[in-house]
Amino acid sequence: MLRFSLLHAGVADLAVVSQVMGIVDGIAPSYIKFEADKIGLQVGSMNAGVNKVLVTLEITEEVLKEAQGKGVQLILSHHPLIFTSLERVLAEDYAGGLVTSLIKAEISLVVAHTNLDRARDGVSDVLARVLGLQEIEVLLQARDIPMYKIAVFVPKENVDELISAMGNVGSGVIGDYSHCTFRTPGTGTFYPMLGAQPYLGKVGELNEVDEYRLEMLVSPDRVERVIATMLDVHPYEEVAYDLYEVKTPPPGVGFGRVGNTPKPRKLRDYAEHWSDQLDCDLRVSGDWNMTVNRVAVCGGSGGELIGVAKASGADVFITGDIKHHAAHAAKALGLALVDAGHAETERLIVPELAKELQRRIYESGMKVEVLVSEIDTSPWNKD
């Protein structure tokens, strides 16, 4: 049994679902999910106790039995169980039966779907690394996620303290950098009226003070906390600040990845290598003797990204669930295709997600063990 046990003494005996969900959200933020995707807690209670989590590609009856046998209280799945609204929950139905069984077993179900697909170090990043790609970039940058800019006016002597406080709760994050700011010097004026208790200046007089306009980028999930921290730390009785939406996409977030091969090789040679790395058979469309320098990938079902893959300069696009007519379209564009299967291009994320979740749980001080499901959930027969 694969497990990542990093437990230590002196921690609380039992965590709850909401705490584990908070850590999952740090790995694959819920705000980066695609449109109306169904993620988060699908069955169970936020307040249910957890000391074991089972990570799986998807929930099936076999996975549920595995969870029960291992004493698991929470299943973390990549694929949603409930994707469309259920009009009723019937034990005889596939989804309804699993919901009923989860409730009876007192096991909660949490889903990280397109948020994990689009996240930095998510599904396609892991796929690209396993295939040996280098200089990896996002294939289709996410531009539908609202980001925010907060601009606050602060006295010069207080600016460093404010940057530290706001940065510590998540503002000013750009890629692998935190506490990123821009400051512009200027002069602020204010007239404290009767009843005011100004930090600087005098009541009943027009005062001037040297200030900075401090700007920081904030993701939508951190706006409220950043503002609350800013108001708490800021020295002014009345804080002047602006919050506005910007079109800056979060860096490193989006569907698919594209990168360069270690060295130019023929498609036939790389296909054999990729088949070994993914431990699966491949469907290939393209000239076996073509030279491959650049490869695009998308874990799961990425047929809609064929045009994007071609525009990225890729020679080959690797994904799953490629339809017949899409393959003809790619061939007309001069783009080779490799269909490695839906599950086969996504299952690599499961042990990586479990490992990262366990690491963060350990750092948080919670006593929760993370297990990797041993069930192959693919519905297709094996040779």
Q: Residue 367 has what pLDDT?
A: 94
> Is pLDDT larger for residue 25 or for residue 6?
25
Averaged pLDDT for residues 289-307: 97
Distance (Å, rounded) from C-alpha 257 to C-alpha 299? 9
Beta-ladder partners of 260: 134, 294
When pLDDT is averaged across residues 153-157 and rounded to a whole number, the result is 95
The CA–CA distances, whole Å, from 240 to 141, 152, 190, 201, 211 equal 34, 6, 11, 16, 11
Q: Does residue 118 register a pLDDT over 80? A: yes
Average of per-residue pLDDT across 59-68: 97
Q: Which is higher by pLDDT, 203 or 383?
A: 203
Confidence of residue 26 (pLDDT cuts 50, 70, 90): very high
In the sheet that holds 336-339, the strands lie side by side as 134-141, 254-266, 291-301, 316-320, 336-339, 283-285
Tokens 């009856």 belong to 61
| pLDDT tens, position by position, 327-374 | 999 999 999 999 999 999 999 999 999 999 999 999 999 999 999 999
- Model confidence over 134-154: pLDDT tens digits? 999 999 999 999 899 999 999
